[in-house]
């Protein structure tokens, strides 16, 4: 992957973040860590602890968190990128950088389906996927890591195609159901071929998203058995409640809840996962850009909505968009632990929120204010231009 820009060839870059008021781990088992200092060397976390117990000497950059909250960078499990930081869906520039200002440091493509003139023949769709994988690997708007190159399966694909895609570096499929394959039998076969070669799959769930797409119901989702039940709360139109609960109960796959879906169905999914004691399956995405636009604060809005209306503690809701997604997507980020990517969001309760602290403000439905975003050990943004202003903001004290 890309080397952190400030890790000069002369030597390693050591980042010390001290005076952290609240440390969110991203791990559902223990969402809050008892520590106030995080240390990273180059793009990796190397130590977490109390300041007196960790080695803060010889830092190249020191950040005083000033009592704010540190979380792993947020992961958007469902985006539709096209080329660089442009989306033709709403003809908008700079949308990925805007999402970085909403705390997102990693994005997963659910298919580059908005590409004008998207090829649907087999050689064409393979070429486009490989091109997208390469270009987003090499170009990171705002520093955001974008896992792209997600081909949408079409009739006529054979096992060799999946082997070839995997060998070329394609690791994910776009949403099953957005191409010509809409029957469970064919989709199951192709998803199984993809899985055999290490390619992860997602399926569109629910009614058509835009004119030209179509309904995928619970029978097709269950038969296909993709790794991620993409937007189980619809994108936008949700399945009936009974079908959503059946998907939660009969499948063991990831339950992806998106911003551009049905909020009532999102809460039903969360409640069902909680009753099944399977919150680990819950991951979050925006499904943007879409007909309803781009939501730079979409992941934060999901965390706040699920926490305030779905009655899960805010520290748990952060795990849905960090550690849970990292585990299901096999990513090296999403957790505050040695060896993980040094990608962080520092935030505080928004100015004038009625909550007494960050977690309480989110549980009351407010958004946090972001004070800094760090990706691979490098500061990508200081006070966010998009969130409400944070009460306290971290400060770079030496670099």
Yes or no: say if 258 and 229 are a contact pair by the CB < 8 Å rule.
no
3-state class (DSSP) for residue 320: helix
Q: How far is CA 145 from the centre of its chain?
A: 10
Alpha helices, H only, the chain: 95-100, 122-138, 159-167, 184-196, 218-224, 241-250, 263-275, 298-309, 314-320, 323-329, 358-363
Q: Contact region for Zn ion (CB under 5 A) — 172-180, 220-228, 342-350, 375-383?
A: 172-180
| Residue 209 beta carbon to Zn ion: minimum distance, rounded to whole angstroms | 5
The answer to whether residue 259 forms part of the interface with Zn ion (CB under 5 A) is no
| Residue 86 beta carbon to Zn ion: minimum distance, rounded to whole angstroms | 21
202 vs 232: CA distance, rounded Å: 11
Site for Zn ion in 195-254 (CB under 5 A): 204, 235
Give whole-number Cα distances, 26 to 71, 129, 292, in Å. Answer: 7, 30, 29
| Residue 230 beta carbon to Zn ion: minimum distance, rounded to whole angstroms | 6
| Residue 206 beta carbon to Zn ion: minimum distance, rounded to whole angstroms | 8
Specify the residue, 161 or 175, whose C-beta has the smaller distance to Zn ion: 175
How many C-beta atoms lie closer than 10 Å to residue 97's C-beta? 18
Specify the residue, 28 or 203, whose C-beta has the smaller distance to Zn ion: 203
The answer to whether residue 175 forms part of the interface with Zn ion (CB under 5 A) is yes
Specify the residue, 175 or 263, whose C-beta has the smaller distance to Zn ion: 175
Residues contacting Zn ion: total by CB under 5 A: 3
Specify the residue, 37 or 286, whose C-beta has the smaller distance to Zn ion: 286
3-state class (DSSP) for residue 336: coil
The answer to whether residue 327 forms part of the interface with Zn ion (CB under 5 A) is no
| Residue 99 beta carbon to Zn ion: minimum distance, rounded to whole angstroms | 18
Q: How far is CA 64 from the centre of its chain?
A: 27
Torsion of Cα atoms, 203 then 209 then 210 then 214, to 10°: 60
Specify the residue, 31 or 235, whose C-beta has the smaller distance to Zn ion: 235
Specify the residue, 101 or 147, whose C-beta has the smaller distance to Zn ion: 147
248 vs 317: CA distance, rounded Å: 18
Three-state SS string over 103-119 comes to CEEEEEECCCCCCCCCC
157: its two tokens: 């694909």
The answer to whether residue 256 forms part of the interface with Zn ion (CB under 5 A) is no
| Residue 177 beta carbon to Zn ion: minimum distance, rounded to whole angstroms | 7
303 vs 10: CA distance, rounded Å: 41
Site for Zn ion in 347-386 (CB under 5 A): none
Q: Contact region for Zn ion (CB under 5 A) — 31-39, 52-60, 171-179, 309-317?
A: 171-179
Nearest position to Zn ion, beta carbon = 204
| Residue 176 beta carbon to Zn ion: minimum distance, rounded to whole angstroms | 10
| Residue 216 beta carbon to Zn ion: minimum distance, rounded to whole angstroms | 8
> What x-and-dash track marks residues 70-109 binding Zn ion by CB under 5 A?
----------------------------------------
Residues that bind Zn ion (CB under 5 A): 175, 204, 235
């Amino acid at each position: 992957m890309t080397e952190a820009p400030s890790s000069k060839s002369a030597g390693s870059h050591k980042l010390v973040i001290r005076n952290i008021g609240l440390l969110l781990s991203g791990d559902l088992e223990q969402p809050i860590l008892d520590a106030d200092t995080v240390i990273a060397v180059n793009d990796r976390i190397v130590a977490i602890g109390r300041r007196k117990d960790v080695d803060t000497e010889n830092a190249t950059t020191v950040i005083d968190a000033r009592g704010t909250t540190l979380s792993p960078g947020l992961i958007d499990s469902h985006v539709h990128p096209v080329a660089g930081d442009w989306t033709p869906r709403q003809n908008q520039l700079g949308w990925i950088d805007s999402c970085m200002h909403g705390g997102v440091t990693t994005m997963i493509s659910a298919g580059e389906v908005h590409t004008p003139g998207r090829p649907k023949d087999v050689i064409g769709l393979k070429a486009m996927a490989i091109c997208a994988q390469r270009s987003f690997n090499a170009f990171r708007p705002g520093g955001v890591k974008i896992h792209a190159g997600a081909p949408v399966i079409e009739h006529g694909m054979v096992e060799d195609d999946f082997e070839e895609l995997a060998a070329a570096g394609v690791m994910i499929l776009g949403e099953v159901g957005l191409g010509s394959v809409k029957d469970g039998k064919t989709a199951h076969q192709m998803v199984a071929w993809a899985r055999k070669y290490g390619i992860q799959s997602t399926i569109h769930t629910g009614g058509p998203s835009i004119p030209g797409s179509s309904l995928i119901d619970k029978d097709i989702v269950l038969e296909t058995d993709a790794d991620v039940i993409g937007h189980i709360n619809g994108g936008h139109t949700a399945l009936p409640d009974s079908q959503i609960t059946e998907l939660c109960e009969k499948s063991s796959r990831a339950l992806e809840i998106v911003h551009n879906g049905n909020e009532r169905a999102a809460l039903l999914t969360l409640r069902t996962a909680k009753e099944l004691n399977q919150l680990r399956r819950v991951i979050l995405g925006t499904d943007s850009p879409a007909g309803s636009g781009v939501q730079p604060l979409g992941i934060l809005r999901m965390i706040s909505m699920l926490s305030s209306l779905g009655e899960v503690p805010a520290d748990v809701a952060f795990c849905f968009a960090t550690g849970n997604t990292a585990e299901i997507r096999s990513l090296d980020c999403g957790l505050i632990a040695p060896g993980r990517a040094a990608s962080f969001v520092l935030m505080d309760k928004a100015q004038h929120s009625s909550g007494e602290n960050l977690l309480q403000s989110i549980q009351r439905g407010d958004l946090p204010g972001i004070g800094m975003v760090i990706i691979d050990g490098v500061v990508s943004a200081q006070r966010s231009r998009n969130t409400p202003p944070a009460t306290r903001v971290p400060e770079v004290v030496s670099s």
